[in-house]
Structure 1
Amino acid sequence: MGRVRLADVAAYAGVSMKTVSNVVHDYPHVKPEMRQRVQEAIDALGYRPNVTARRLATGRTGMVALAVPEIDHPYFSELSRRIAEHAASRGYRVLMEQTLSEPGAERAVLRDREEGLVDGVIFHPVSTTQSELARLSRDVPVVLLGEAAIPLTVDHVMIDNVAAAREATEHLLSLGARRPVFLAAVEGDVTVSTDRRLEGFQDALQAAGVRLPSSHVLTASDFSPQASSEAVNRALDAGLDFDAILCRDDQFAVGALSALHARGISVPDEIALVGWDDTALSRFAYPAITSVSPDKAALATSALDLLLERIGGFHGPGRHVITPHTLAIRESAPAVTEAARPL
C-alpha cells in the first residue's frame, strides 16, 4: 500500500478533505463527534501528515528541534523526555540533535534551523559565543538552556547554579564538615556550569569563615565516573584531609562513591557527599545520594512554552526565566536531625 493521503482519510471517514485538515491541524471549531470520526479513520489507515505539505499549507511543520551536548548523559536524557512529553501534549514532535559541545556542530544547529524541518529550536549551547547568539536571525525561534552568558535578545531558561551550589555546601557544613572538596574542575572544560557551581561552593565557605587551600578543588581528566573515581583516589593517595564532597553532577558522585567504597571509607559517617541533577543514578546508588534537584518539569515546560509563544508570533525582547531547584536529601548527606557528626 502506498502512502496514505488526506483524500484517502476523507473518503474513509465520509467527510470533506477540509474537515480532515481541520482535525489534523487541531482547529478548535470541529465538533467532537466529527473529530472522533476522522481520528478513527486516521488510526485505521495509519495516516501521517506530510511535513512539507503541512508547512506549505500552514507555514509550520509541527516539529521542534532539541539540541543538547550529550543525549546519553543522565540529566539530558531525563530533561529531553520531559520536553518531548510536554511537546506531545501541545501537538508537537521533537527532533533530537547531539552536539558533543563541538563548535561546528553547535553552529550547524543554528544554521540549519532555517531548512524548513522545524518551527523552532530549544538549544543548550556550550561553545557558541554570546556574540554569535546575538546575531541569530529571528526567522526560526530559539530558546536557550544552560548557564552560558545569553544576549538580551534571546529567550533563556536555567536554574541558579550559584545559589544551588551555595545551599548544597551549606548543607554539608551543617552536618559538621569543615574540610569539603569540590569535585571537580575538568581539563579542557568549556562549559560554564562548573564555574558557577564552584563559585557557589566558595561563597558558602567564605560566609562560614572556612578557609581551604586550592587543593580542595579536585581536578578530573573528563566528565566520566571513571575520571571522578581517579580524582578521589589521587586526593587520598596525596594525603588530602577532607570530610565532604560537593560533586558537579551525579556521574561524578557515583565515581566518588566507588572510590570511597573501595578504600573502606564510610559515606556519610566519614565523608558526606552531595551530587547534582537528581537523576536515577542518585536515587538508586548505595547509599542513595543527596543531590541538587533542578525542577526538570519546570525547565521543560518553561522552555517549550516560550518557544511556542515565539512560534505564535511573539516578537518582544528576550525573556530570562530562572526555574526552581531543591536539595533532594538522601543517605549520603542526611538531614541535619539525622546526622551524628560532631562540629
Structure 2
Amino acid sequence: MSDMSSGRPGQRVRLEDVAKLAGVSMKTVSNVVHDYPHVSVKMRERVQAAIDQLGYRPNLTARRLATGRTGMLALAIPEIDQPYFAELARRIGEEAVRRGYRVIVEQTLNDADAERAVIRDREEGLVDGVIFQPAYMDTMEIARLRPGTPLVLLGEAGRPLTADHVMIDNVAAAREAVELLLGQGRTRIAFFGMVHGDPTESTHLRLLGYQEALLAAGVRTGPELVIETDGFAIDDGVAALSAALDAGVRFDALVCRDDLFAMAALKVLDRAGLRVPGDVSVLGWDDTALARYSTPALSSISPGKEAIARMALELLEDRMAGYDGVGRHRIAPHVIIERETTGHPT
C-alpha cells in the first residue's frame, strides 16, 4: 500500500513525486512525514517545501501501518450547537493543531447508547485518543467499559479511578457567584434553572454551591427560589421564568445555570418591566459569545476553556505515550466576569 493523496484535480501525488522534486530518497520523505526526530532541520525544510508545492497529503491508513498513529483525535460532546460546547470544541481543536493533531468532533446528543459506543472503542484504529464529555454514563459504567484507546474525560459525570478527568469546581464557582451578589446588597437570590430530567451532574453541583453560600450567610432560601424548567432551550427558560413571576415569586437576583437561561431571563424581565440590574441582577454561566454581545452585556461565570483544552491534551498525550497509571484529576480555573447585568440595587 503506497502513501497517496489527491493533489490537483485528476492527479494523484505520490510519495516518490515528493522525493523526486526534493532530490532525496523516498525513505527520507517518509521520515519527514512521520516526524522522525533524526532528520536534520535543513533536510526537513527541503522536503516540506516539496510537500507544500505538490500538495501532498499522507494516506492515514498507510501512516497508521507505518507508525501505529493516525494523527487524529476524537472529541465526543453532547451537543455541538450548545454555545459552551461549540466554544470548547474550538479551543480543543486549536490546542490539538498546535500539538500536530487533527480532531474529529462527534455529538452524542445526550443518548446513553451513543455514549457507550464512544467508550466501546467505536473510533478504535481511526484515532489515537479520545476526549469525551459524558452526560448519562456514571463512574462505574465507564470503569467497567474501560477502553483500549487512550481517553480523557471532561465535565462532572463519571470519574472512574482508571481515567483522567478535567473539570472546574462548580460548587466553588456557584458559591462565589452568590457571595458576589450578596456583597452587592442582593437579599433574595434565585437559582434558574433546574431542568426536569437533567442527566448531568453540573446543575446539581451548582445548586449545592448556591445553597451553601446562602446558608453560610444566614440568608433565607426556599424551594420557590429554585426555578424549574422543562428543557434546556431558551424558550423553556422563558416559559418557566414567566410562570414563576405570574405565580408571585419575587427575587432581586438570578444565578443562571448557563448563558442561555440568562438570555431567557433578560427577555422575561424586560417584558415584565423590571430593570437589569436596577431591580434584578442576572449572572450567567459559561461566558459564551451570548454574554459578551447581549444587551445589556451579561455578567457570567467563565470556566477556563483554554485551560481545559490544554490540560485535556496534556493528559491525553501522556496516555498515548504509554502512561497506564491511576487516573489523574485536574481542576481548571474559573473567574466571574462582571459586565452590565450585575451591581447594587437602585
Q: Partner of 2:233 in structure 1?
A: 224
CA offset at residue 7 of structure 1?
1.9
Equivalent position to 2:247, from 238, 245, 250: 238
Q: Partner of 1:86 in structure 2?
A: 95
Q: Partner of 2:291 in structure 1?
A: 282
Partner SS for 1:191:
coil
Q: Partner of 1:326 in structure 2?
A: 335
Separation (CA, whole Å) in 2 of partners of 1:3 and 1:139? 35
Native 8 Å contact 1:114 1:139 kept in 2: no
Q: Partner of 2:56 in structure 1?
A: 47
User: Which residue type is aligned with residue 280 of structure 1?
Assistant: A
CA offset at residue 239 of structure 1?
1.0
* Residues 27-61 of structure 1: per-residue CA shift (max 9 Å, x gap): 33322222222112111221111111111111111
Q: Partner of 1:33 in structure 2?
A: 42
Q: Partner of 2:132 in structure 1?
A: 123
CA offset at residue 114 of structure 1?
5.2
Equivalent position to 2:154, from 145, 149, 162: 145
CA offset at residue 5 of structure 1?
2.3
For the pair 1:159 / 2:171, whether they are aligned, the reply is: no
Q: Partner of 2:22 in structure 1?
A: 13
Equivalent position to 1:75, from 63, 78, 84: 84
Partner SS for 2:120:
helix
Q: Partner of 2:218 in structure 1?
A: 209
Native 8 Å contact 1:181 1:245 kept in 2: yes
CA offset at residue 273 of structure 1?
0.7
CA offset at residue 139 of structure 1?
2.3
Q: Partner of 2:70 in structure 1?
A: 61
Separation (CA, whole Å) in 1 of partners of 2:272 and 2:30? 65
For the pair 1:184 / 2:190, whether they are aligned, the reply is: no
User: Which residue type is aligned with residue 318 of structure 1?
Assistant: G
Q: Assess, with a 3 A threshold, how the Cα gap between structure 1 residues 138 and 239 changes in structure 2: closer, same or farther.
A: closer
* Residues 105-134 of structure 1: per-residue CA shift (max 9 Å, x gap): 111112234531001100000111222211
Separation (CA, whole Å) in 1 of partners of 2:72 and 2:65? 14
Equivalent position to 1:255, from 232, 256, 264: 264
Partner SS for 2:198:
coil
Separation (CA, whole Å) in 1 of partners of 2:271 and 2:56? 56
User: Which residue type is aligned with residue 28 of structure 2?
Assistant: T
TM-score calculated relative to the size of structure 2: 0.94
4+ long deviations beyond 4 Å: none
Equivalent position to 1:133, from 126, 133, 142: 142
Stretch of structure 1 that moved more, 253-262 or 136-145: 136-145
Separation (CA, whole Å) in 2 of partners of 1:204 and 1:137? 37
Q: Partner of 1:273 in structure 2?
A: 282
Equivalent position to 1:100, from 109, 114, 117: 109
Gaps of 5+ in 2: 1-9
Separation (CA, whole Å) in 2 of partners of 1:210 and 1:29? 66
Native 8 Å contact 1:282 1:290 kept in 2: yes
CA offset at residue 98 of structure 1?
0.2
CA offset at residue 141 of structure 1?
0.6
Equivalent position to 2:305, from 262, 278, 296: 296
User: Which residue type is aligned with residue 39 of structure 1?
Assistant: Q
Stretch of structure 1 that moved more, 198-207 or 3-12: 3-12
Separation (CA, whole Å) in 2 of partners of 1:99 and 1:215? 33
For the pair 1:307 / 2:316, whether they are aligned, the reply is: yes
Q: Partner of 1:24 in structure 2?
A: 33
Separation (CA, whole Å) in 1 of partners of 2:137 and 2:247? 38
User: Which residue type is aligned with residue 255 of structure 1?
Assistant: A
Partner SS for 1:202:
helix
Native 8 Å contact 1:113 1:140 kept in 2: no
Stretch of structure 1 that moved more, 12-21 or 175-184: 12-21
Gaps of 5+ in 1: none
* Residues 214-257 of structure 1: per-residue CA shift (max 9 Å, x gap): 01000111111111111111111111111100000001101110
Q: Partner of 2:4 in structure 1?
A: none
* Residues 242-275 of structure 1: per-residue CA shift (max 9 Å, x gap): 1100000001101110111122210000000100
CA offset at residue 2 of structure 1?
4.0
Stretch of structure 1 that moved more, 260-269 or 1-10: 1-10
Stretch of structure 1 that moved more, 208-217 or 302-311: 208-217
Separation (CA, whole Å) in 2 of partners of 1:135 and 1:61? 27
Separation (CA, whole Å) in 2 of partners of 1:16 and 1:111? 41
